[in-house]
Structure 1
Amino acid sequence: MTIQAKAIEQIWQEHIFQGSWVKSENPSFNIINPATGTTISSVPFASVNNVNSSVEIATQAQQSWKNTTFETRAKILRKAAQLFEQNIQTFIEWNVQECGSTLLKAGWEANACIEQLYMAASMPMASSGEIFPSSIPNRTNVWQRVPLGVVSVISPWNFPLLLSIRSIAPALAMGNSVILKPSEFSNITGGALLAWLFEMAELPEGTFQVLSGESQIGEALVNHPQVNMISFTGSTGVGKKIAEACAKQLKKCALELGGNNAIIICEDADLDTAVNNAVWGTFLHQGQICMQTGRHLVHRSIADAYIQKLKEKALALNVGDPSAPDTHLGPLINAAQHQKVSNLVEAAVNNGAILECGGKGENLFFHPTVITNISKDDPIFTDEIFGPVAPVLIFDDIADAIEIVNSSKYGLAVAIHTARTAWAFELAKKIKSGMVHINDQTVNNEYHVPFGGMGESGYGGRFGGPANFDEFSQRQWVSILDKGIQYPL
């Protein structure tokens, strides 16, 4: 089955998805194409009353969903993967026009979602617990996983499909119901299309819902007593507020937050490979990625050559219409983000930095930027940029480079380029980072490997592979005796 784009669009322009499409009288939010500034669609925002009714629906739906067989859950998730594959072009096109993704980035994200769904489909048939010995004769101790209940997923606009599905799919696989709150900048790509997907996959009504809206909808979900877990991907500032609210309720939360990720180029690095990796890690999706390579630390002996090659590569990248096959960088998501990046670059130059290339952009576009002659305390180096900027800092001793990397409040991803891989493996143990990639770049994700950060980059667990089982369930001890025993009282 393929999406009939116009038919489904008429539904999402007038309805919200509470397990089925419900007519809404709520105010609508216009969907703007960031590359053109034109309005391309609209969706009605949910209200706090909708949140309350959705939680009730999800709570009821979860009671039956958790008791379905593993074959049933696996079959539905496989069907969702198949439907995604059949309609991949629609997902790609909306990601391009709504979120400013290039065709390359949108295609990679779509295929990654399909893999995530297939991986989640294998989860229901995995072992659900462990058996422990007992000091009491004839007792069996079972430590089993049970669902959490209602899981709310609050997802961002930069990877609106992947960063939603990586929580939705394993949460459903473990027997939870899910309420998704997409970013207001990805209501269609990260919201309405996923509603259609799981509806067509024949997920039982109410087990998955989508509530579009601004921060008050997310706050209502976080504070609702019947929402048992929050899975949030977004800024560190918002993540801290969610952590505080969840802590007061003793509510589980998984937070994947910001990053200011470093690439370390050692004196024996393969320079061409290092530059190629740095360009990908820095400029992919206009640098609007939590794993973006935002800090370049380069050994002094090769710094001049590295900067020259990096500059040449940056100047060769095409900036423009993200729907064009030869475009490397599309627009930034909105004017506020464009202004933030511009301000950081301008302030650095005013402080004495050298602008090697870029540093400007018309409308919401921003040209690939390489900036040098900076200090380790410059905001262009210490802050998360979320834009296509490569700040380069020179180091003389690897110990100093590691100290600079670890001085960040973030700890998401680090890359090291060197010919000494065994040495780099040992070096990784000294680095405060949830992920370290040797002779690669910082933007990495493999569906079966647990993903997450340290420090202010993450809190509450990991996503991916075996981590998903415990992330989206809770443990219960059940002891069994065929015949009761007599205690000495």
Structure 2
Amino acid sequence: MEPLYINGEWIEPDSGRIRATSPIDGSTLGTVAAGSEAHVDDAVRATVEASDALRELNVHQRAEAIETAMDVLEDRLEEIVSTMTEEVGKTTSEAREEVESAVRSGREYAADAVRLTGEVTRSQYDDRHNFTRREPHGPAGVITPWNYPFEIPTDHLSAALVTGNPVTWNPASEAALTATHIAAAFAATSLPDGAFNFVPGAGGTVGAALSGHQDVRLLAFTGSTAVGQQIAATAATRSAECLLELGGKDPVLVLDDADVSRAADAIVLGSNYNCGQSCSGTERVIATESIYDELVAAVTARTEELTYGDPRDAETDVGPPINDDVRETTERQITEAVEAGARVTAGGSVGDRYIEPTVLADVAPEMRAATEETFGPLTPLISVADREEAVRVANDTRYGLQAAVFTESLQDAHRVIDGLQSGGIVVNGTNNFWEHQLPFGGVKQSGSGGEYKGRWHLESMTQRKSVAIDYSD
């Protein structure tokens, strides 16, 4: 059994265990210790005690610790890829891309933190020097999902620790084995005991205890909108800071003058990468009627070329969904859409373990396939009259995470950018996109409290302190 890590010690508790089960075939892969509310309390108390020691390290020392963790992860890359593929069903290439991206980002956080600065402001008074500085919030709780079980935790942990916030981490139970690799890497650093703590366990128990703990000053959560709202409400009772990245029903708009072939390639990638289990994946395609039929044909043809099945096979494009919930949601949306008049033009089969990549044409904006997050390999296409209607339909949702638009017109691109209610917009590329040099975050019910990636993530993990020095006689 893989243990907990609290206050510099590996602990094998009697509180229970998580059985890691593969979505590929249902086999048991191993067990991980499940923490309790008492373990959360121990871990958070350890972060309180470690706060001063972590802040006393200068930023170069903290950055060096992050680099050490990244070295450990890089050395274990192939082992991690194998674990992730078996545990969450990512294809081998998807798992490798995620680990490589996470390690690269971790190193960039270390470099960015050294350059994180405040600003000098000109005072309205004589003989006064004003400036700001960035400081850590204090003890942090990090709660992460199963769909990107390596990059999201590594980003949050690196950003929090390098800026001086001691952390208690609760990973998704569905990816607990993958999480043990990350825990081992951060435990191997020179950070003070208590600066990093690893407490797996059910979100309703461990996650709830962590988000509700009175000593946690910063919460970073990636997951469902419903749970994120509960966390925010709990944190608000003590004015704790929350960094939330939540659900999405991300649209791709394809306008009259779009390169249809290019759009189809991006749409199929965005809908099916990671079996469609991406918060920024393509959840809706909204195309103007003049190119709609051509786009449906192109997306259908490309989707039919995809191979789905065992993710350990190098020829597989789409692996299994993580659990029955994803299969049931996807199947329900397909069935209801067809009953309401939509057409299946590719795929449509949902089995005991796998979902055939599916294209739904003639979807109406009010159908569940167009309004509720699917999180499966489903591409719903909606026809609209023009750009203005495309923007209206795209905005008719409670979400606003990541969108894309395909057009050859710079003017139309800017008008869509101006009109879309979305945290991020990609022009002529897949919306399932993020990078370290661009902030990532949602609006509406897709997120709040700050942004991910790069210096923006570091700023979200810190708070501003204003300083005024009066040097008059």
Q: 1:38 to 1:138 in 2, by over 3 A?
A: same
Q: CA deviation at 1:138?
A: 3.4
The corresponding residue for 2:338 is 349
Native 8 Å contact 1:153 1:230 kept in 2: yes
Q: Does 1:155 align with 2:155?
A: no
Match 2:55 to one of 52, 62, 66? 66
Q: Does 1:367 align with 2:356?
A: yes
Partners of 1:373 and 1:132 in 2: CA distance: 56
Partners of 1:403 and 1:136 in 2: CA distance: 49
The corresponding residue for 2:195 is 207
Native 8 Å contact 2:220 2:243 kept in 1: yes
Q: What is the SS of the residue equivalent to 2:235?
A: helix
Partners of 2:57 and 2:190 in 1: CA distance: 13
The residue type paired with residue 189 of structure 2 is: A
Q: Does 1:217 align with 2:206?
A: yes
Q: CA deviation at 1:398?
A: 1.0
- Give the TM-score of the pair, scaled to structure 2: 0.96
The residue type paired with residue 188 of structure 2 is: M
Structure 1: stretches of 5+ with no match in the other structure: 1-9
Q: Does 1:164 align with 2:153?
A: yes
Match 2:427 to one of 438, 456, 466? 438
Partners of 2:317 and 2:240 in 1: CA distance: 42
Native 8 Å contact 1:123 1:173 kept in 2: no
The corresponding residue for 2:167 is 178
Native 8 Å contact 2:81 2:92 kept in 1: yes
The corresponding residue for 1:129 is 118
Q: CA deviation at 1:82?
A: 2.1
- Describe the superposition over 1:316-360 as per-residue Cα deviations: whole angstroms up to 9, x where unpaired: 111111111111111110112211211111111122221112222
Native 8 Å contact 1:123 1:170 kept in 2: no
The corresponding residue for 1:293 is 282
Q: What is the SS of the residue equivalent to 1:104?
A: helix
Partners of 1:345 and 1:166 in 2: CA distance: 35
Match 1:320 to one of 292, 309, 314? 309
- Deviating more after overlay: 15-24 vs 372-381: 15-24
Q: CA deviation at 1:422?
A: 4.0
Structure 2: stretches of 5+ with no match in the other structure: none
Q: What is the SS of the residue equivalent to 1:446?
A: coil
Q: What is the SS of the residue equivalent to 2:464?
A: strand
- Describe the superposition over 1:191-235 as per-residue Cα deviations: whole angstroms up to 9, x where unpaired: 211110112233322211111111221111111111001101001
Native 8 Å contact 1:73 1:124 kept in 2: no
Native 8 Å contact 2:255 2:386 kept in 1: no
Partners of 2:449 and 2:310 in 1: CA distance: 38
Q: CA deviation at 1:383?
A: 0.9
Native 8 Å contact 2:6 2:42 kept in 1: no
The corresponding residue for 2:365 is 376
User: Mapping of 1:463-482 within 5 angstroms?
Assistant: 463-481=452-470
The corresponding residue for 1:193 is 181
Q: CA deviation at 1:18?
A: 4.4
The residue type paired with residue 397 of structure 1 is: D
Partners of 2:126 and 2:395 in 1: CA distance: 52
Partners of 1:15 and 1:73 in 2: CA distance: 23
The corresponding residue for 2:397 is 408
Q: What is the SS of the residue equivalent to 1:249?
A: coil
Q: Does 1:92 align with 2:81?
A: yes
Q: What is the SS of the residue equivalent to 1:198?
A: helix
Q: Does 1:55 align with 2:37?
A: no
Match 2:385 to one of 368, 378, 396? 396
- Describe the superposition over 1:161-201 as per-residue Cα deviations: whole angstroms up to 9, x where unpaired: 11112211111111111111101101121x21111011223
Native 8 Å contact 2:168 2:196 kept in 1: yes
Q: CA deviation at 1:372?
A: 1.4
Match 2:323 to one of 334, 340, 361? 334
The corresponding residue for 1:78 is 67
Native 8 Å contact 1:143 1:478 kept in 2: yes
Native 8 Å contact 1:183 1:212 kept in 2: yes
Partners of 2:355 and 2:363 in 1: CA distance: 20
Q: 1:127 to 1:202 in 2, by over 3 A?
A: closer
Q: CA deviation at 1:127?
A: 4.4
- Describe the superposition over 1:405-458 as per-residue Cα deviations: whole angstroms up to 9, x where unpaired: 011111111111111134302321111111111100110111121111111111
The residue type paired with residue 209 of structure 1 is: N
Q: 1:478 to 1:20 in 2, by over 3 A?
A: same
Native 8 Å contact 1:16 1:46 kept in 2: no
Native 8 Å contact 2:217 2:240 kept in 1: yes
Q: Percent same amino acid among aligned pairs?
A: 28
Q: Does 1:229 align with 2:208?
A: no
Q: 1:368 to 1:282 in 2, by over 3 A?
A: same
Aligned length: 472
The residue type paired with residue 216 of structure 1 is: T
Match 2:233 to one of 235, 239, 244? 244
Native 8 Å contact 1:425 1:438 kept in 2: no
Native 8 Å contact 1:16 1:44 kept in 2: no
Partners of 1:433 and 1:482 in 2: CA distance: 46
Partners of 1:261 and 1:336 in 2: CA distance: 20
Q: What is the SS of the residue equivalent to 1:66?
A: helix
Q: Does 1:138 align with 2:127?
A: yes
Partners of 2:153 and 2:196 in 1: CA distance: 12
Q: CA deviation at 1:137?
A: 4.3
- Give the TM-score of the pair, scaled to structure 1: 0.93
Partners of 1:134 and 1:355 in 2: CA distance: 65
Q: What is the SS of the residue equivalent to 1:433?
A: coil
Q: What is the SS of the residue equivalent to 1:213?
A: coil
Partners of 1:398 and 1:375 in 2: CA distance: 17
The corresponding residue for 1:6 is none
Native 8 Å contact 2:116 2:455 kept in 1: no
Partners of 1:22 and 1:466 in 2: CA distance: 34
Native 8 Å contact 1:17 1:195 kept in 2: no
Q: What is the SS of the residue equivalent to 2:344?
A: strand
Moved over 4 A (4+): 14-18
Native 8 Å contact 2:91 2:316 kept in 1: yes
